[in-house]
Homo-oligomer: A and B are copies of this chain.
Amino acid sequence: MGKLALAIHGGAGTILRSQMTPDLEAEYRSGLESALRAGWEILEKGGSSLDAVEAAVVSLEDFPLFNAGRGSVFTHDGRQEMDASIMDGRNLKAGAVAAVRNIKNPIKLARLVMERTEHILLSGDGAADLAASAGVETAPDEYFFTEHRWLQYQEALAAGRVQLDHSKPIGTVGAVACDANGNLAAATSTGGMTNKKFGRVGDTPLIGAGTYADDTCAVSCTGHGEYFILGVSAFDVAARMRYKGLSLEDAARETIEHQSQIGGEGGLIAVDSKGNITLPFNSEGMYRGYVNNRGMNTGIYSD
């Protein structure tokens, strides 16, 4: 029997107090709080961790300031391509989509891959076919467009950067939860990297890298995706708990320390089946929050 717990993130990176206005900070916090409430409502009514993480991620996808769903960044050729994955720790099932366009909530499509296909990861047109046949809600390009992402893209194009812009937060959103039955689930969604090459797949849709859940823990990562792939970081937390006997907090800390060793920047959120929560990161900030029976918390900076 687990204690109810939900944690979310809205991306990690160089987030400095000096670059933030009070109004913008309040807006970010309200986005985080809305997502926490959306997931918590489900957990409180006895709903599953799977439903809770999906609802929290949908809320984060809908919020235009985070790089997922609405507000996703632009690829090198000016498109918005999104990735998402979800994993149900209760039965070790998972679904994911890569490089989907015009899907209002990519996390919902990832869940359909899990529930309606024999596959785990569908990319591009294959995922679009499933979306069309299942009647998944789409949205026009204008829905996803935000001016700040367009400006980031224009800047990156001008500078010839096909990499992360480390002066901006590294965008991903995610949620992990423990429900009343002690079942765990994790979900992650992203618009990827500004000015990324067409066809680049990061860690977000990769089970084990960006997302993982079993009966030990549920993990969602955010950061420089290539390093989280090399570290197999979401699964690595579970492996350190299961094989080394570490606590959730120690395992997650070691995973992020390994990221620092190999040059990766970012963070993760994780819960275990006792409702413990940890949110370590090695970047200058991470949009994050959690809620349990003792209350709700959000954070942005590293101090």
Contact = CB atoms under 8 A, between A and B. Distances in A.
Chain A binding surface, main DSSP class: mixed
A179 interface: no
Question: Chain A contact residues (Cβ within 8 angstroms of B): what range?
Answer: 35 or more
A296 interface: no
A136 interface: no
A45 B226 CA distance: 33
A199 B131 CA distance: 13
Contact of A129 (B199, B229, B240, B243): B199
Contact of A197 (B122, B206, B209): B122
B199 A125 contact: yes
A122 B123 CA distance: 11
A211 to B, nearest CB: 11
A99 B123 contact: yes
Interface in A217-268: 226, 229-230, 232, 235-236, 239-240, 243-244, 262
15 contacts: A94-B229, A99-B123, A99-B124, A119-B226, A120-B229, A121-B229, A126-B197, A126-B198, A127-B199, A206-B206, A208-B232, A235-B236, A240-B243, A243-B244, A244-B244
Interface of A: 92-94, 98-99, 117-127, 129, 162-163, 196-202, 206-209, 212, 226, 229-230, 232, 235-236, 239-240, 243-244, 262
